[in-house]
């Protein structure tokens, strides 16, 4: 769906939902914006997402959200081995930078009826949080520190290995 037609917001970087057939993670889609249902109402708009929804590429195992992020702060700066995510700007705006070891893509999230799908294996950094912004993340796995790659050099080494496999 087009979402809330009269939503008065800045633009959101458009992408297409291509499958990356040349990737070792070809079972996952590339990062892309997912439009969620938006029920417009004079009493206020409503958006929802639930397991089994064809728009959602995974079943939700966990939800977390960050808020009160001070101006100039960054969150994230890690990658996941397995966990898939849908990142939603419930309020305000922020940028999500995704790095696959070769190229970086930046998405600006500022619409509560859209989510950014993030497959595993990407180094993500969230920054440029507006005052009062709330970042909600739906994930496919319960919290497990073993799923995190927090060391940048380790991430680069892993992504170099994956890119070598492709050759």
Question: What is the per-residue binding string for ligand TYD in 41-80, x denoting contact by CB under 6 A?
Answer: ---------------------x-x----------xx-x--
Task: Provide the 3-class DSSP secondary structure of residue 148.
Answer: strand
Q: How far is 106 from 72, CA to CA, in rounded Å?
A: 17
- In the complex, residue closest to ligand TYD by CB: 75
Q: Is 8 a catalytic residue?
A: no
Q: Which is nearer to ligand TYD, 24 or 134 (CB)?
A: 134
Q: Which is nearer to ligand TYD, 38 or 155 (CB)?
A: 155
Question: What is the per-residue binding string for ligand TYD in 118-147, x denoting contact by CB under 6 A?
Answer: -------------------------x----
Q: Which entry of 21, 32, 78, 80 is annotated as an active-site residue?
A: 78
Give min distance, CB of 150 to ligand TYD, in A.
Answer: 8
Q: Which is nearer to ligand TYD, 40 or 78 (CB)?
A: 78
Quote the distance between the C-alpha of residue 123 and its chain's center: 11
Q: How far is 126 from 108, CA to CA, in rounded Å?
A: 10
Residue 83 touching ligand TYD (CB under 6 A): no
User: What are 102-111's contacts with CB under 8 Å, separation 24+?
Assistant: 102/159, 102/163, 105/15, 105/31, 106/13, 107/12, 107/13, 107/15, 107/31, 107/33, 108/10, 108/11, 108/12, 108/13, 109/12, 109/135, 110/9, 110/10, 110/12, 111/3, 111/4, 111/7, 111/9, 111/12
Q: Which is nearer to ligand TYD, 67 or 143 (CB)?
A: 143
Q: Which residues participate in catalysis according to the annotation?
A: 78
* Site for ligand TYD, rule CB under 6 A: 62, 64, 75-76, 78, 143
């Amino acid at each position: 769906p087009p979402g809330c037609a009269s939503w008065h917001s800045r633009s959101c970087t458009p992408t297409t939902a291509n499958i990356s057939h040349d990737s070792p993670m070809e079972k996952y889609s590339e990062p892309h914006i997912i439009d969620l249902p938006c029920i417009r109402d004079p009493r206020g708009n409503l958006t929802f997402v639930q397991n089994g929804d064809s728009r959602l590429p995974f079943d939700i195992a966990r939800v977390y959200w960050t808020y009160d992020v001070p101006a100039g702060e960054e969150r994230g700066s890690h990658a996941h081995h397995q966990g898939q995510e849908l990142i939603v700007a419930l309020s305000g705006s922020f940028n999500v930078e995704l790095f696959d070891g070769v190229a970086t893509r930046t998405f600006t999230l500022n619409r509560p009826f859209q989510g950014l799908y993030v497959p595993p294996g990407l180094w993500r950094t969230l920054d440029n949080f507006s005052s009062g912004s709330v970042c909600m993340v739906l994930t496919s796995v319960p919290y497990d520190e073993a799923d995190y790659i927090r060391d940048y050099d380790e991430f680069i080494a892993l992504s170099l290995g994956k890119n070598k496999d492709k050759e």
